[in-house]
Amino acid sequence: MDIKLFILWAVIVLCSVPILIQLARMIGSIIDLIRTTSCSIKDFSTEVVNTVRVANRILSTVDGMVVILRELIASLKELGSGARKLVETLKDSSKYVTKLLGQLSGLIAVIKSTIGIFTKGEKKKGGTDDRPQDREDERG
């Protein structure tokens, strides 16, 4: 039985050597894969960190723009309110100017009629008429 056991062990060893060699190669490939993956993971994590930094800068820029946009919208609302007040004031001013012009035209009409009355009164009292026709008649 010793010989059968020896032969059995020899067959097992001879059959297991290629399996062990293949297992050693597979373990070596796994180790290389782990090393490559480790480097890739380091590179990947570096890229993720850089991407997050860039995204944070973009977000802070966008936040700043949102603040500026809110201020702009508030300013535009105030400008619109001021414009409405200006339009109301201009409407009131145009009414005032229209009334003023109406009163001024009335005043001018009164002044004309007053001047007309005074000139007619002078003609009746023997005043001179400043028209050029009358002057030529007096000379000639």
Pick the more confident residue, 140 or 133: 133
Cβ neighbours of residue 122 closer than 8 Å, sequence gap 6 or more: 128
Q: Between 3 and 134, where is the model more confident?
A: 3
Comparing C-alpha atoms, which of 44, 26, 25, 24 is closest to residue 36?
Answer: 44
Alpha-helical segments (H) within the chain: 2-124, 132-139
Token pair for 104: 């001024």
Give the distance from CA 66 to its chain's centroid. Answer: 9
Cα angle for residues 53, 59, 64 (degrees, 5° grid): 130
| pLDDT for position 103 | 86
- The whole-angstrom separation of Cα 90 and Cα 97 is 10
Q: Is the pLDDT of residue 140 over 50?
A: no
pLDDT digits over 90-131, tens only? 888 888 888 888 888 888 988 888 888 888 766 666 555 555
Contact 121, 114 (CB under 8 A): no
- CA 84/CA 77 separation, integer angstroms: 11
pLDDT, tens digit, 9 for 90 and up, residues 44-97: 899 999 999 999 999 999 999 999 999 999 999 999 998 898 888 888 888 888
Mean pLDDT for 22-42 is 89
